[in-house]
Amino acid sequence: MKKFNFRKVLDGLTAASPVGSSGGGSGSGAGGSVHPGGTAGAAGTPREEIQETLTSDYFQICKTVRHGFPYLPTALAFDPVQKILAIGTRTGAIRILGRPGVDCYCQHESGAAVLQLQFLINEGALVSACADDALHLWNLRQKRPAILHSLKFNRERITYCHLPFQSKWLYVGTERGNTHIVNIESFILSGYVIMWNKAIELSTKTHPGPVVHLSDSPRDEGKLLIGYENGTIVFWDLRSKRADLRAYYDEAIHSVAWHHEGKQFMCSHSDGSLTLWNLKSPNRPFQTTIPHGKVQRDGKKPESCKPILKVEYKTCKNSEPFVVFSGGLSYDKPCRRPSLTIMHGKAITVLEMDHPIVDFLTLCETPYPNEFQEPYAVVVLLEKDLIVVDLTQTNFPIFENPYPIDIHESPVTCTEYFADCPPDLIPVLYSVGAKHKKQGYSNKEWPISGGAWNLGAQTYPEIIITGHADGSVKFWDASAITLQMLYKLKTSKVFEKQKVGEGKATAEIVEEDPFAVQMMYWCPESRIFCVAGVSAYVIVYRFSKHEVNTEIASLEVRLQCEVEDIITPEPETNPPFPDASSQLPSLKSLSGSTNTVACEGTMKDSIPCLSVKARPVRMPPGYQADLVIQLVWVDGEPPQQITSLAVNSAYGLVAFGNCNGLAVVDFMQKTVLLSMGTLDLYGSSDPYQRQPRSPRKSRQFAADNFCMRGLSNFYPDLTKRIRTSYQSLTELSDSPVSLELERCKSPTSENRENSFSRSRSSSVSSIDRDSKEAITALFFMESFARKNDSAVSSCLWVGTGLGMVIILSLNLPASDDLRQSEPVMVSPSGTVLTLKGAVLTFACLDCMGTLTHQPYEVWRDPHSADDGDKARKRKLVMHSPSSSQDMGDHQFAVICSEKQAKVFSLPSQTCLYVHNITETSFLLRADVVTLCNSVCLACFCANGHIMTLSLPSLRPLLDMNYLPVTDMRIARTFCFTNEGQALYLSSPTEIQRLTYSQEMCDNLQDMLGDLFTPVETPEAQNRGFLKGLFGGSGQAFDREELFGEATAGKASRSLAQHIPGSGGIEGVRGAAGGVIGDLTRARIALDERGQKLGELDERTASMMASAEAFSKHAHEVMLKYKDKKWYQF
């Protein structure tokens, strides 16, 4: 007879009711507790003792910073005075980069691709032109840039923009060939328009094409050079509103560049040619070259090459000018990589790039276009990289890039995030990583050095670890919202290289990237690092500061789902693993079933997917492989991928599981302790009956193998880590195969709930789904294994895809001296707990509600020169330093599945609290984290919600719809860490960090860098008396007089629509409730009112003009008939 503690039930309900529940359905509040008779009082006591300090006021979600290379870049701009760089992308994002630490991400709400970017040089503003034909003015004088104005063109498509230095009038070229002029301050169109039919000669019968270039003459600002796509060039006099000269070339123009004196200009063309034109003789170019064209023997014109997409022509005072261009290579070399060509005098240097060139800019000493340019570097924006070339040295070395733009060097497959880790780790990792840095960089300072940044108040160390498709693992210093590479580990080095043609024979389970990192486990205190690879292997690494030359120890483990091999129901056909046999040192008898089938022909058995190097291997300082564990083929079937992984340095054990079962390995003695099917772990405690099955036929396996070639098809918790073929890991493909794989694996699939054996009553007809129970979570802990235990002991908690939790007891040798020789015993405790959905995570709280850390061994160098007893003695830390040495008479176990969270009191195993997190969706990630010296459960749901729950009472503290899971990448890489931080891969090349801490949101402004710093604009050089006298009248040109409303009139309102931006409000958000906020809102309201008044004024003027025309017409009619008689009509 169970007894209900109604007072506690009501307390729990009232605690939960104001916040509400994120799930819905019965029991979704931090619900009533049901206690077995006799234990209610004891279990209820800690509820009154534990004061939970976290409330909903501690939580707020906001993005902090984005790291990595801008995904799908399209545009590039540089401010030569502020020395900051802007990159626009196809997704409508803008990244602004300055000195290391100054890195800002902005996003256009429309998501339209950025066509072009233009800085208002040294003004702290940026103009972006987008593919939806909108211009935007960004305010960079605040830490989070915002749009001040937008101008949306309705009838014409924007193709090119040009903003002269120190001008407030922006020239905008369109697809129709017209050129419009925009006032940057008011963002309103001028009435001055250069129509294409006025610009070209009247005798020309064809349209010149879109405007591909606009620039004012360096010699005279009143002259505008307009380049049209079909090869027409017009030199337009802005004052007289007519063309001064026109030039024609029979090849399409891609770009135009001026000589600084303004007497000649260079064009690049679609046939790979460069033409140099003189203003005095515009009939034909005075020089035509095809730099990469082969010279014909008979003196004919060199053969045409690929288009030169962009050219820049930069002069030097003391040397020949630089001509830099992209493209233009010969067609007869199809395999040549994209290249940038630098012509300096007679020397031609071709720099080959790893990726296609998107854009490039030459950085010069002066912002004035009419002075010697003195170029010193070239910024080259590639599709997947950013390179800066040093022009001051003859061999053109590249600068060492300080930004973390190589995150995607190999596609990221998994991530882990550690905040507040031991402070000595970052310098240690940096010191071993610095030895492998590349040489040959330029010795000059990185030229993009603008902005200002300081460390801010956040001082705790943070480390991000990324696993990659090529088997590499990168450790990053992520402290104070920056990111810097510390150390790179190549896990593939422990294996033999695969010979060409062997791929199919050795690694059928993964067609590409056999070394891809699937899972990582790191213990920062002991520096033990463990990697699970996609080819069903686990590597245990130890950290050493010394180089060593040694053989790599390896073990092979046989894991299979024994139910499949049962032919008749008799139990003796396939006995479960006896506990005693699992303790024997013999590997063969430990590694699974012994009833192996004799191999015939292609039948594979007991062989791993990859070959570990058998010879001694040189291991540099850093992480060195201690043990490689590989799952082997069983009866012609490949091993299933690993779905869970845990390591404990104090116990010296590593545990891992897949959809077949669990393996526990002693990495100190290099022996397999346990290799058991999931069903056998229950022993007599299996909570539901399963029928034996006949063996699977190879035909059926081949049919079902389609979705298994990538990653495990049977793993229920597919969204926590890698779940799909590596082709679709990094980019979405439209091929039928990858779409089918996505359908099998995608968390957003409509049939997901029916695709896997979620519930006990699921009627899934697909083969073997109901017998496969994946191991989805593992956790080593000092805990109470059984109900009647009076003291904690070493345990391994095992969570499965069916929501079952099994506790295994670990019997370790009593003394450290016996650890290397005495066997470790692993045995089921008989304890089984249940939850709804696949188990995601475990944690343990002591009787005071403090998080209990797992036991660990204090790090010592395994190859230290000191061989004394002290060096060999292991120093173990069994409890968290924050808790007392006496663990108390009970503890709390926190278990979270993809559907619900439960808190159990141990050793009584009473379920104190339960919270149904979601009914309609499922969790992708759950972590127990510390925040403000307290602890909470952070969850990320597939429907995009981020939630936090208090511990131990599971009260909802935060539930915000933050990020819909649009693809597998987000699901695979999302992770929480301590101090209210989290991250995920927002694109294949970028890491997005966010915070769910109110305190960090409040302090974020102090942590971000300043994009704009007050810098004096350099003075223009003294031009000299004669040059001032004869060098043109550029200085006297008044754009305001020419383009202003008084002279040019107003542009048609139907041509473009002005949209006030939110920049003002963004800038004063901190003082939104004060006078400044009110003033800003009033100014924006006035802008809108002024716009409406302007429209009214225009309509009134139109009506007056119409009335005047009517009056004039009536007067003319009256005069005509005034003297006529009535009969003359």
Beta strand residue intervals within 90-218, DSSP E: 93-97, 103-107, 114-120, 125-130, 134-139, 146-153, 158-162, 169-174, 179-183, 188-194, 211-216
The pLDDT of residue 697 is above 80: no
Q: What's the pLDDT at 984?
A: 95
Closest by CA position to 127, among listed 170, 92, 156: 170
pTM of the model: 0.81
Closest by CA position to 143, among listed 452, 403, 541, 455: 452
CB 909 within 8 A of CB 847: no
3-state SS assignment for residue 804: strand
**pLDDT tens by residue, 530-547:** 999 999 999 999 999 999
Q: What percent of the chain clears pLDDT 90, i.e. is strictly above it?
A: 52
Residue 862's pLDDT band (boundaries 50, 70, 90)?
A: confident
Q: Residue 418: exposed, middle, or buried by beta-carbon count in 10 A (0-12, 13-18, 19+)? A: buried
Closest by CA position to 178, among listed 156, 163, 161, 162: 156
* Cβ-proximal residues to 162 (8 Å cutoff; 6+ apart), any chain: 118, 170, 171, 173, 214, 215, 216
d(C-alpha 314, C-alpha 325), whole Å: 11
Average of pLDDT values for 1034-1039? 62
Q: What's the pLDDT at 619?
A: 93
**pLDDT tens by residue, 722-747:** 333 333 333 333 333 333 333 333 33
Average of pLDDT values for 149-167? 93
The pLDDT of residue 630 is above 50: yes
**pLDDT tens by residue, 111-128:** 999 999 999 999 999 999
CB 926 within 8 A of CB 832: no
Q: Residue 355: exposed, middle, or buried by beta-carbon count in 10 A (0-12, 13-18, 19+)? A: middle
**How many whole angstroms from its chain centre is CA 345?**
43
Between 380-389, 658-667, 685-694, 807-816, the lowest mean confidence (pLDDT) is in 685-694
Q: Residue 401: exposed, middle, or buried by beta-carbon count in 10 A (0-12, 13-18, 19+)? A: middle
**pLDDT tens by residue, 594-621:** 333 333 445 677 889 999 999 999 999 9
Between 250-259, 298-307, 497-506, 640-649, the lowest mean confidence (pLDDT) is in 497-506
CB 860 within 8 A of CB 875: yes
| Residue 951 structure tokens | 């511990």
Q: What's the pLDDT at 967?
A: 81
Average confidence score pLDDT of the chain = 79
CB 361 within 8 A of CB 79: no
- Regarding predicted confidence, which is higher, 100 or 627? 627
Neighbours of 386 (CB within 10 A): 22
Sign of the Cα torsion 809, 811, 815, 821 reads negative
3-state SS assignment for residue 887: coil
d(C-alpha 413, C-alpha 467), whole Å: 6
* Cβ-proximal residues to 703 (8 Å cutoff; 6+ apart), any chain: none
Sign of the Cα torsion 801, 803, 806, 807 reads positive
**pLDDT tens by residue, 428-460:** 999 998 877 777 888 999 999 999 988 766 678
Q: What's the pLDDT at 1129?
A: 52
Phi, psi of 160 (to 5 degrees): -155, 145
Beta strand residue intervals within 793-909, DSSP E: 793-800, 804-811, 825-834, 839-845, 856-857, 876-877, 891-897, 900-906
